[in-house]
């Protein structure tokens, strides 16, 4: 039985490598040399590395350590490879957490945010990132959001900004609009109040104008994860179908002279129509409510129903028959009832559908509930038309159309085209592409955000401000002490004059969604002090971002908005690229085991002692010995208390060990599980590396090693060194950092086998060559240690200024290869052959081998397969 130490335990005092001394020293040296300044240098290839910028929550967590360490590996590697690198850092600084802190603790959001930035900057700098800090900015800097207001006005003038009434989720307690994701079980995520649907005038960006491009250009993003491209494509949801109008039987109701317009992706199933449905907030439903109290009551009930698409899908289907009737477009004598149904979305298509229960599950559920007809019109392959019946499941597969007049006998796709042609011929509608994507509502009723640069004038309406009136600055004395929009209730701020007529006017008090802030910051980084929002020349040099790194949770919204804004800015002539991020990497989370008392109370890792008994592990409280339940491995979170504070780890093991561990333990795209043992292993490696460098005598230093040559040892070291350079280079290029670090461990193990103190001059020279490469190879992962080691063996200048080591391909291959020999696919021995030996030559060696010959006794050789430098397989019977 062995008790493991706490996650954060003092390292042995006798350790010779002292990160507390070396790490600050090298960070200072980099700063003094301005080593990471990004410079426009047309003579060199450029490389722009960017990690999604942090929200200044106040403290660094392990997720940050991982995210920024990953980007730092790329930045340092590309710099060493001769690229002119831009690797900036900034702050996504507007948003609700600051307002919540303000309300809870009575602090000013601005002060809270900038204090947090101060603190986090210190911690991030401690990570030793190769960042050009001279470009730092926060989105809440007036220099930034003022430029954003200028861009907003440009989009306004191009017709990409508009204002309309929209149904929103309204939290009556917090007095604000909530995004769908902020509504949980019909209640506001913060207040817990029942959310209402309200109509409010809202500002929108016309992202749907770019919907086609946003889908089509996904094809060009070949360095994006396939997963993210699929998610975006689904989110945009382009579908081709038919938009057409039903004529009313017995004359149209008021305002519906043109009929009732519906949209469908299944015009082939028109003969299966059973009823027509409209959304509860459809104008026709509202019209019906005016004369029918029951309809009004039903609509009111729907208002309190589900808000997200997924919830709408799973809730009980309900409807109300308006009594209105429409005529089937292909048969004027066929009348269909018009229902108000709670599963229809006003925002998708036209907010009205025709229902074909036999071939749509939602329609079928609805039809069953209200005893509406179910008429199959698509015959599954091989089915009998006479016996075809629909049970509880709608048939949505391919098949042959039947029961459908002129469409009979056609396949689904042909029938769709034929039905669209017929409707178009009747002048009743046309084929149309519809997107699931909706315009982007960017207005937030919040005081801690970028003010929308518009005023409302009683005479002129909503008037955009002229650029000369920018920036529209947030007042310093906002009252965040209670819920609601602090900007709207400020006593004086909103009162102004109309730029058009000079009369009294009120400023728009909504601010922009923080996703707007993050939709162009990457372009601002190319010249953050430009008087223009974006300096064209700088952007032309640096854009696009060559490698963007962040969490997959932003796969849709942030990345989609940034793509849209980039395209819009390109159309304005402000950018020359149409896609912001040429390469995207989505890294996994940092996780940790969870621990609870038997009563269920969460416990921090530091309170728990792990007891290992052979292959099983148990846990108990470190002080009392009370048994502890080991729970699942989950994302580090305060609520489950399974967090480990980076600063404590830095303090005990140094920054390099922490970086090394998060980089080495798992492939970057997967979750990494933080363990105390793991970081101790990284710490051991740091020390072993230092000892290896420290044992290498400087040139001319007295040395007790053997005077005789040891060419075999020297050659082994050189080969391993060159192989390691090749492997690590390739590993970094392909984001296989964990494998690259494993190769570094291997090389160190090999060097240990040829210690300096007993080495011949030849081995010493080979070690020197190997150590020189090694110091540079570990630079991207453990940059401080790399400098200390490089300096110890007399490297010129600093590692950050040194070239990446080159390798000699001839030295990465052994002169002879050991090839396994299989007989009928089973390993039966091995032979040694010269590298690159031709099959015939290898075959001869194999057949001359006595051991192999013994294995083949009594068998007839049918075939000998030789894979060069790899394997031999003899097929024999």
Neighbour order of strands in the sheet with 495-497:
461-464, 454-457, 504-507, 495-497
* Cβ neighbourhood burial of 10 (10 Å; 0-12, 13-18, 19+): exposed
* Cβ neighbourhood burial of 303 (10 Å; 0-12, 13-18, 19+): middle
Cα dihedral 558, 562, 568, 572 sign: positive
- Supply the minimum distance, in Å, between the C-beta of residue 174 and RNA: 24
- Cα–Cα distance for residue pair 211/708, rounded to 1 Å: 74
Angle between helices 646-653 and 655-664 (to 10 degrees): 110
Q: Kindly indicate which of the ranges 425-433, 745-753, 791-799, 834-842 contains the residues binding RNA, using the contact rule CB under 7 A.
A: 745-753
Task: Decide if 261 contacts 434 (C-beta within 8 A).
Answer: no
**Phi (first) and psi of residue 171, to 5 degrees:** -95, 110
Binding mask 537-556 for RNA (x = CB under 7 A): ---------------x--xx
For RNA, the binding residues in 422-451 under the rule CB under 7 A are 436
Q: Is there binding between residue 310 and RNA (CB under 7 A)? A: yes
Strand spans (E) along 636-703:
672-673
Binding mask 386-425 for RNA (x = CB under 7 A): ----------x-----------------------------
C-beta atoms surrounding 34 within 10 Å: 11
Nearer to RNA, 483 or 681 (CB): 681
Q: Enter the tokens of residue 360.
A: 């749509």
Task: Decide if 78 contacts 49 (C-beta within 8 A).
Answer: yes
Binding mask 652-691 for RNA (x = CB under 7 A): ------------xxxx--xxxx-x-xx-xx--xx-xx---
Picking from 870, 826, 834, the residue whose alpha carbon sits closest to that of residue 852 is 826
- Cα–Cα distance for residue pair 247/796, rounded to 1 Å: 84
The helix/strand/coil state of 732 is: helix
Q: Is there binding between residue 230 and RNA (CB under 7 A)? A: yes
Nearer to RNA, 102 or 356 (CB): 356
Residue from 346, 577, 645, 742 binding RNA (CB under 7 A):
742
Residue from 184, 417, 815, 865 binding RNA (CB under 7 A):
865
Q: Is there binding between residue 179 and RNA (CB under 7 A)? A: no
Q: Is there binding between residue 198 and RNA (CB under 7 A)? A: no
Residue from 14, 258, 708, 810 binding RNA (CB under 7 A):
14
Nearer to RNA, 208 or 428 (CB): 208
Binding mask 596-635 for RNA (x = CB under 7 A): ----------------x-xx-x------------------
Site residue total, RNA (CB under 7 A): 70
Q: Is there binding between residue 359 and RNA (CB under 7 A)? A: no
- Supply the minimum distance, in Å, between the C-beta of residue 371 and RNA: 23
Half-sphere CA count of 339, side-chain side, radius 13 A: 23
Residue from 175, 403, 738, 812 binding RNA (CB under 7 A):
738
Q: Enter the tokens of residue 39.
A: 């410079």
Nearer to RNA, 86 or 236 (CB): 236
Helices (H), 753-831: 761-777, 783-792, 809-812
For RNA, the binding residues in 828-847 under the rule CB under 7 A are 828, 830
- Cα–Cα distance for residue pair 64/551, rounded to 1 Å: 10
Q: Is there binding between residue 870 and RNA (CB under 7 A)? A: yes
Q: Kindly indicate which of the ranges 62-70, 270-278, 501-509, 869-877 contains the residues binding RNA, using the contact rule CB under 7 A.
A: 869-877
For Cα atoms 543, 548, 553, give the angle at the middle one, nearest 5 degrees: 135
Nearer to RNA, 85 or 727 (CB): 727
Q: Kindly indicate which of the ranges 1-9, 289-297, 701-709, 769-777 contains the residues binding RNA, using the contact rule CB under 7 A.
A: 1-9
Q: Is there binding between residue 749 and RNA (CB under 7 A)? A: yes
For RNA, the binding residues in 802-821 under the rule CB under 7 A are 818, 820
Picking from 141, 160, 50, the residue whose alpha carbon sits closest to that of residue 517 is 141
What would the DSSP string read from start to end of 324-373? EEEEETTEEEEEEEEEEETT--TTSTTSEEEE-GGG-HHHHHHHHHTT--
- Supply the minimum distance, in Å, between the C-beta of residue 872 and RNA: 8
Residue from 25, 223, 227, 757 binding RNA (CB under 7 A):
227
Residue from 220, 291, 314, 414 binding RNA (CB under 7 A):
314
Picking from 40, 136, 125, the residue whose alpha carbon sits closest to that of residue 88 is 136
- Supply the minimum distance, in Å, between the C-beta of residue 742 and RNA: 3
Residue from 12, 106, 381, 481 binding RNA (CB under 7 A):
12
Task: Decide if 392 contacts 362 (C-beta within 8 A).
Answer: no
Q: Is there binding between residue 827 and RNA (CB under 7 A)? A: yes
Count of residues for the chain? 877
Q: Is there binding between residue 752 and RNA (CB under 7 A)? A: yes
Q: Kindly indicate which of the ranges 151-159, 740-748, 761-769, 835-843 contains the residues binding RNA, using the contact rule CB under 7 A.
A: 740-748
Task: Decide if 636 contacts 649 (C-beta within 8 A).
Answer: no
Binding site for RNA (CB under 7 A): 1-2, 4-5, 12, 14-15, 226-227, 230-231, 234-235, 237, 309-310, 313-314, 361, 396, 436, 552, 555-556, 612, 614-615, 617, 664-667, 670-673, 675, 677-678, 680-681, 684-685, 687-688, 736, 738-739, 741-742, 745-746, 749, 752, 818, 820, 822, 824-828, 830, 863, 865, 867, 870-871, 873, 875
């Amino acid at each position: 039985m062995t008790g493991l130490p706490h996650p954060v335990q003092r390292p042995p005092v006798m350790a010779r490598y002292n990160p507390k001394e070396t790490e600050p020293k090298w960070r200072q040296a980099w700063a003094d040399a301005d080593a990471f300044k990004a410079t426009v240098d047309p003579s060199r290839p450029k490389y722009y590395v960017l990690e999604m910028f942090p929200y200044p929550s106040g403290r660094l967590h392990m997720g940050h350590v991982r995210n920024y360490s990953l980007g730092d590996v790329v930045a340092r590697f590309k710099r060493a490879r001769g690229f002119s690198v831009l690797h900036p850092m900034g702050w996504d600084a507007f948003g609700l957490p600051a307002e919540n802190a303000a309300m809870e603790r009575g602090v000013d959001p601005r002060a809270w945010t900038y204090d947090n930035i101060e603190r986090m900057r210190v911690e991030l700098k401690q990570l030793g990132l190769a960042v050009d800090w001279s470009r730092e900015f926060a989105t809440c800097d007036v220099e930034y959001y003022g430029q954003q207001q200028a861009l907003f006005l440009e989009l306004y003038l191009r017709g990409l900004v508009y204002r309309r009434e929209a149904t929103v989720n309204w939290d009556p307690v917090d007095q604000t609009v909530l995004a769908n994701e902020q509504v949980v079980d019909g209640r506001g995520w913060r207040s817990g109040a029942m959310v209402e649907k309200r109509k409010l005038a809202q500002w929108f960006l016309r992202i749907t104008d770019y919907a086609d491009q946003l889908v089509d250009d996904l094809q060009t993003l070949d360095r994006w994860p396939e997963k993210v491209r699929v998610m975006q494509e689904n989110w945009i949801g382009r579908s081709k179908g038919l938009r057409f109008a039903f004529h009313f039987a017995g004359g149209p109701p008021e305002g519906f002279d043109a009929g009732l317009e519906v949209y469908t992706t299944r015009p082939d199933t028109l003969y299966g129509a059973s009823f027509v449905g409209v959304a509860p907030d459809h104008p026709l439903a509202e019209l019906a409510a005016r004369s029918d109290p029951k309809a009004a009551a039903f609509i009111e009930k729907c208002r309190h129903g589900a808000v997200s698409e997924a919830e709408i899908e799973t809730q009980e289907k309900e409807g109300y028959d308006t009594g209105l009737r429409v005529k089937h477009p292909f048969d004027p004598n066929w009348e269909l009832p018009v229902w108000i149904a709670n599963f229809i979305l006003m925002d998708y298509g036209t907010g009205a559908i025709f229902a074909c229960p036999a071939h749509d599950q939602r329609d079928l559920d609805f039809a069953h509930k209200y005893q509406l007809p179910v008429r199959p019109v698509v015959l599954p392959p091989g089915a009998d038309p006479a016996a075809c019946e629909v049970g509880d499941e709608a048939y949505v597969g391919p098949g042959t159309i039947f029961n459908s007049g002129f469409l009979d006998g056609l396949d689904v796709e042909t029938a769709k085209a034929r039905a669209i042609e017929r409707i178009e011929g009747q002048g009743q509608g046309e084929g149309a592409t519809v997107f699931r994507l909706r315009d982007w509502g960017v207005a937030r009723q919040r005081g801690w955000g970028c003010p929308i640069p518009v005023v409302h004038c009683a005479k002129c309406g909503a008037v955009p401000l002229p650029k000369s009136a920018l920036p529209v600055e947030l007042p310093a004395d906002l009252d965040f002490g209670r819920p609601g929009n602090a900007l709207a209730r400020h006593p004086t701020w909103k009162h102004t004059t109309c730029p058009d007529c000079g009369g009294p006017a009120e400023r728009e008090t909504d601010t922009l969604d923080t996703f707007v802030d993050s939709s162009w910051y990457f372009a601002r980084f190319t010249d953050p002090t430009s008087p223009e929002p974006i300096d064209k020349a700088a952007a032309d040099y640096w854009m696009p971002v060559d490698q963007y790194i962040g969490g997959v949770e932003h796969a849709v919204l942030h990345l989609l908005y940034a793509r849209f804004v980039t395209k819009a800015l390109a159309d304005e002539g402000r950018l020359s690229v149409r896609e912001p991020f040429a390469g995207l990497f989505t890294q996994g989370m940092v996780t940790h085991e969870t621990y609870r008392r038997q009563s269920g109370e969460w416990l921090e890792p530091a309170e728990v002692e792990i007891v290992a008994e052979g292959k099983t592990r148990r846990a108990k409280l470190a002080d009392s010995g009370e048994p502890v339940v080991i729970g699942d491995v989950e994302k580090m979170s305060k609520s489950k208390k399974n967090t480990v504070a980076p600063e404590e780890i830095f303090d005990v093991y140094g920054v390099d060990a922490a970086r090394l561990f998060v980089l080495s333990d798992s492939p970057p795209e997967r979750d990494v599980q933080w363990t105390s043992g793991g970081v101790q292993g990284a710490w051991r490696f740091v020390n072993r590396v230092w000892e290896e460098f420290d044992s290498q005598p400087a040139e001319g230093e007295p040395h007790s090693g053997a005077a005789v040559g040891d060419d075999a040892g020297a050659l082994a070291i050189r080969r391993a060194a060159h192989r390691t350079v090749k492997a690590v280079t390739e590993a970094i290029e392909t984001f296989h950092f964990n494998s690259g670090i494993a190769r570094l461990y291997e090389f160190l193990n090999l060097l240990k086998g040829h210690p300096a103190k007993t080495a011949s001059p030849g081995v010493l020279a080979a070690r020197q060559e190997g150590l020189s490469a090694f110091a540079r190879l570990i630079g991207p992962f453990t940059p401080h240690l790399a400098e200390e080691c490089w300096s110890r063996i007399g490297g010129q200048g600093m590692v950050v200024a040194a070239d990446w080591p080159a390798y000699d391909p001839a030295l990465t291959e052994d002169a002879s290869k050991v090839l396994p020999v299989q007989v009928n696919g089973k390993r039966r021995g091995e032979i040694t052959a010269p590298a690159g030996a031709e099959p015939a030559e290898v075959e001869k060696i194999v057949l001359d081998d006595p051991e192999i010959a013994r294995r083949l006794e009594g068998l007839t050789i049918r075939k000998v397969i030789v894979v060069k430098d790899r394997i031999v397989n003899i097929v024999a019977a």
